[in-house]
Amino acid sequence: MIVAYKLWHGYWIRFPKHTKFSLGSKIDSLFLETAEQLFIASHKTKEQKIYYLEKASERFDLLKFILQISWEIGSIDIKKYIALSEKLSEIGKMLGGWQKQTKTP
């Protein structure tokens, strides 16, 4: 998550001014909220983890959606969008695996 956020942060500082403080700020918040939920989940019991992983997953899905919107309106170019999407895809697989492992009896 840290690697993806560092990549995003480098892109965000160069976001167009007209979307930097709307879409850009929302994406930044969602990155941090997702990381926060994952951090909290890592310190909980197996039963408690489920709630925090679901919250992280919700934030993560919204992050991907808002990022796609920013690409579609031209606030982020295709190369940067692809680079971020690849990192987010890896994170999504890990998050899904963690959720599956946590829900298994």
What is the rounded CA–CA span in Å between residue 57 and residue 36?
12
Token representation of residue 52 = 């925090």
Each residue's pLDDT tens digit, 20-67: 999 999 999 999 999 999 999 999 999 999 999 999 999 999 999 999
- Asked if residues 30 and 61 have their Cβ atoms less than 8 Å apart, the reply is no
**pTM for this prediction:** 0.93
pLDDT tens per residue, range 65-98: 999 999 999 999 999 999 999 999 999 999 999 9
**80, 11 contact by CB (below 8 A):** yes
